[in-house]
DNA sequence: AAAAGCCCCTGGATGC
DNA sequence: TGCATCCAGGGGCTTT
């Protein structure tokens, strides 16, 4: 669920509220994808400075060190003063005097990892290979097109790989390709400059719109206040196999690329 | 360097 | 109702 918009909506929901708070306790549930990498008690007394996002990672800056948090496939965060006792899928609590940040993650593909700083090996391993931020100024059309020229793989998988541009997951990759009229199976290297420009714009506008709509809630996602998003209602192709294209009424098709579902309109995406 | 497969884990939907 | 099977938004790691 959590792609860039969901992670950003999550961040926006608690960044300002937790900034300046002192950590009172850290509680762990079942093991996540990776261990925390520090004794939980060692975080007590540290102060939360800010919460940033890099790709699909949340970076919780402390006055000493930082926490790298990933929602995986089924993770979501809550932030509140009066959270109930931890349930079976609650695997990380950061208790502060301003409220408790709680990670709920049924599939446990998510993780919370401590690092002394962003240059620490543990942080480099997770953040080092990431591509540019699609909503930032460093996402340049010319560089994007040039990078696509060097990749022979299908464009859908190049977008998902995240080493070129981050944050585009399965839903938004399908949506961005629809918006730019490109077949998901087309080799990235065969995308012309004008098409790359359309894709570049589509990625930016769709991700920004999804943040505005509170993200997409298909199953597990909710913001830190427990509310779902609405972007899924605006999906043109994702999850719509067999249904009429909202533009041309042609039935939407579904295929598998790299063990993941892809949706597209064979009429609107001919390129 | 790039691409393709594998796998981590749980739960919901579907089919018999 | 019970049970097996398939599928799911991610991404690091290994192999080709």
Nucleic acid strand C: bases within 7 A of protein CB: 7-13
From the candidates A2, A5, A134, A154, which is the catalytic residue?
A2
The answer to whether A262 CB sits below 7 Å from nucleic acid chain C is no
Q: Where in chain A is the domain with CATH 1.10.8.50?
A: 141-264
Residue A80: its H or E element: strand A76-80
Please identify which residue in the block is written with the tokens 């209602």.
Answer: A233
Average the pLDDT over A74-81 and give the result: 96
User: A165: pLDDT confidence band, cut at 50, 70 and 90?
Assistant: very high
Round to whole Å and give the CA distance between A213 and A228.
Answer: 10
Per-residue model confidence (pLDDT) at position A123 = 96
Task: Name the DSSP letter for residue A88.
Answer: T
- In degrees rounded to 5, what are phi and psi of residue A145? -60, -45
A45 has a pLDDT exceeding 80: yes
A2 is catalytic: yes
Point out the nucleotide closest to A125 (alpha carbon to C1′): C12
> Looking at the DSSP assignment, which residues form a beta bridge with residue A256?
A261
The two three-digit tokens of residue A171, written as one number: 């839903």
Q: Where in chain A is the domain with CATH 3.20.190.10?
A: 4-120
Per-residue model confidence (pLDDT) at position A240 = 95
User: Is A206 strand, coil or helix?
Assistant: helix
Residue A54 contacts residue A92 (beta carbons within 8 Å): no
User: A219: pLDDT confidence band, cut at 50, 70 and 90?
Assistant: confident
Average the pLDDT over A238-259 and give the result: 95
Round to whole Å and give the CA distance between A11 and A96.
Answer: 16
Query: For residue A266, how many other CB atoms are within 10 A of its CB?
Result: 13
Cβ neighbours for A39, distance < 8 A, ≥ 6 positions apart: none
A9 has a pLDDT exceeding 90: yes
From the candidates A6, A8, A53, A56, which is the catalytic residue?
A56
Per-residue model confidence (pLDDT) at position A145 = 98
Report the CATH number of the A141-264 domain.
1.10.8.50
Q: Percentage of residues in chain A with pLDDT exceeding 90?
A: 97
CA angle A14, A94, A168 (to 5 degrees): 50
A260 is catalytic: yes
List the alpha helices (DSSP H) in chain A. 4-18, 121-127, 141-149, 155-161, 170-179, 193-212
Average the pLDDT over A191-198 and give the result: 97
- CATH 3.30.310.80 for domain A4-120: no
The answer to whether A2 CB sits below 7 Å from nucleic acid chain C is yes
The two three-digit tokens of residue A76, written as one number: 């979501």
Nucleic acid strand B: bases within 7 A of protein CB: 1-12
Per-residue model confidence (pLDDT) at position A220 = 79
- C-alpha to C-alpha distances, A176 to A117, A150, A195, A245, nearest whole angstrom: 34, 20, 12, 15
pLDDT 10s digits, A115-147: 999 999 999 999 999 999 999 999 999 999 999
Distance, angstroms, CA A108 to C1' B8? Answer: 8
Round to whole Å and give the CA distance between A253 and A193.
Answer: 26
Per-residue model confidence (pLDDT) at position A1 = 61
- In degrees rounded to 5, what are phi and psi of residue A118? -70, -15
Average the pLDDT over A198-222 and give the result: 94
Q: Percentage of residues in chain A with pLDDT exceeding 70?
A: 100
Average the pLDDT over A66-94 and give the result: 96
Round to whole Å and give the CA distance between A131 and A62.
Answer: 25
Weakest mean pLDDT among A56-65, A81-90, A197-206, A216-225: A216-225
The per-residue pLDDT of chain A, averaged, comes to: 96
pLDDT 10s digits, A10-36: 999 999 999 999 999 999 999 999 999
Query: For residue A262, how many other CB atoms are within 10 A of its CB?
Result: 23
């Amino acid at each position: 669920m959590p792609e860039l918009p969901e992670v950003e909506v999550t961040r926006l929901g608690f960044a300002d509220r937790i900034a300046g708070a002192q950590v009172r306790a850290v509680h762990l549930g079942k093991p996540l994808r990776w261990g925390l990498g520090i004794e939980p008690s060692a975080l007590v007394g540290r102060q939360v400075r800010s919460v940033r996002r890099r790709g699909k990672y949340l970076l919780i800056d402390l006055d000493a060190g930082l926490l790298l948090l990933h929602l995986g496939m089924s993770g979501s965060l809550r932030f509140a003063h009066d959270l109930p006792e931890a349930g079976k899928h609650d695997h990380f609590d950061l208790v502060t005097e301003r409220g408790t940040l709680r990670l709920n993650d049924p599939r446990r593909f998510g993780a919370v990892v401590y690092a002394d700083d962003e240059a620490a090996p543990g942080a480099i391993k997770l953040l080092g290979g990431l591509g540019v931020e699609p909503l930032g100024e460093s996402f340049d059309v010319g560089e994007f097109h040039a990078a696509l020229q060097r990749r022979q793989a299908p464009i859908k998988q190049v977008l998902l790989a995240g080493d070129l541009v981050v944050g585009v997951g399965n839903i938004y990759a399908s949506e961005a390709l629809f918006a730019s009229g490109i077949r998901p199976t087309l080799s990235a290297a065969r995308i012309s400059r004008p098409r790359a420009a359309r894709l570049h714009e589509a990625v930016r506008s769709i991700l920004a719109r999804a943040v505005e709509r509170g993200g997409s809630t298909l199953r597990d996602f909710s913001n830190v206040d427990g509310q779902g998003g609405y972007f899924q209602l605006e999906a043109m192709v994702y999850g719509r196999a067999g249904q009429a294209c909202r533009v041309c009424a042609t039935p939407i098709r579904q295929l598998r690329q790299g063990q993941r579902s892809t949706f597209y309109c064979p009429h609107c995406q001919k390129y």
